[in-house]
Structure 1
Amino acid sequence: MKILIAEDEFTTRMLVQVSLENWGYRVESVVDGNQAWEILQRREAPHIAILDWEMPELDGVEVCRMVKEMERENPPYIILLTARDSKKDIVEGFDAGADDYMTKPFDDNELRARVRVAERLVRTQTSLTETVAELKEVLNQLEMIQGGMTVCPSCHKIFNNDDDCWYSIEETVTRQNDPHFIHTICPDCSGK
């Protein structure tokens, strides 16, 4: 799994990166919020982002807000890693859209545990999204089948609601985009 680190302080960035790489993660690191925002907008953005609060350009909280406003089925899981430790700051970080919050200096074991939780949640969310998409497709097919087809009893043409046209049975069956039909070869024909 790929993780983004956005941290302007070199030592902290390297400590986090080395730890993550030692635990088997692929890491992309940047030094400011603008770079982090650019990466997180990509189609193949990292699933987890560890952001410092205080960075040049955009700060971590601004990046959190912008990421959470994106219309994505699976937005990245964001961990704010910051020296800010007041209750007010923690609440502000979560209100901005952070999924987790850690204070510096960080403990290696705690970071590993929190990243593992993030990874589990990301995998679960991805699986749920795929399952929902499959269920929607099945429901669409069921609705089409239950809705029935309008067939002319004289010429046996079939009415297509999508384009308000009548088609012969052959035309209807050969149209690959018609959800009424699931195209497969029957056992009798597969032996030919």
Structure 2
Amino acid sequence: MKIQDHSILVAEDDLTSRTALQLTLKKWGYAPLIAEDGEAAWEILQDETPPRLLILDWMMPRLHGIDLLRRIRSNKLESSFYIIMLTTRDSTEDIIEGLDAGADDYLTKPFNPGELRARVNVGFRVLGLQATLEKRIRELQKAVEHIQTLQGILPICSFCKKIRNDTGYWDQVESYIAKHSGTRFSHGICPDCLERHYPDFADEVRGQ
């Protein structure tokens, strides 16, 4: 799944804070998508390619950021998200509650631009690592499927030794195996075939 490198969802009901976040993120080259409450943010996340990095205010109308966070984590959405909670609540208990609910990071208001930029950079770095891991997992799953195919019973012609593939067509043995395993073949002649097809040369070879 491709990460939208410049897209960030900002859910903030306070106009001043929302504008500051929007202008700051744009200045750094990001493309913030703005939601004025939790429900609006949830609607944005239903898009086919939603932002993967989210900045959520804790207290919002209709749906608080902490409740939106819990909804995201409990719904097992196809996309993985890096979520930064933004709030004036900075007690140890609040921080623990936010992290327990599924937040990846925590930023207090009024935010420090340098701290925000550092945390956003960390978020995208983590998302990049997750995307790489997901790609490797898909590649391994595909490799396992190919191995399982090769380990199964394969229909093979008794005369020409072609193998019937998954679509019903017949492939040469080396062509079929190459498609399903990436194996490259080099061709030679075994001693029995050398004797059968080139008996004179076979005698010379034995004589050596």
TM class, shorter-length = 0.7 to 0.9
Q: Is the 8 A contact 1:141 1:180 kept in 2?
A: no
Query: Which secondary structure does the structure 1 equivalent of 2:179 belong to?
Result: coil
Instruction: Provide TM-score, normalisation by structure 2.
Output: 0.74
Taking the aligned partners of 1:44 and 1:138, their CA distance within structure 2 comes to 27
* RMSD (Å) for aligned C-alpha atoms: 2.8
2:122 corresponds to 1:117: yes
Query: Which secondary structure does the structure 2 equivalent of 1:84 belong to?
Result: coil
TM-fit CA distance, 1:53: 0.5
Partner of 1:96: 101
The answer to which of 62-71 and 20-29 deviates more is 62-71
Fraction of identical pairs, as percent = 44
TM-fit CA distance, 1:42: 1.8
Partner of 2:140: 135
Query: Which secondary structure does the structure 2 equivalent of 1:182 belong to?
Result: helix
2:17 corresponds to 1:20: no
The 4+ residue runs of structure 1 with deviation greater than 3 A are 150-160
Q: Is the 8 A contact 1:80 1:102 kept in 2?
A: yes
TM-fit CA distance, 1:101: 0.7
Tell me the matched-pair count.
174
TM-fit CA distance, 1:75: 1.6
Q: Is the 8 A contact 1:68 1:75 kept in 2?
A: no
Taking the aligned partners of 1:43 and 1:132, their CA distance within structure 2 comes to 22
Who wins on radius of gyration, i.e. which is larger? Answer: 2
**Structure 2, unaligned runs of 5 or more:** 1-5, 181-208
Instruction: Provide TM-score, normalisation by structure 1.
Output: 0.79
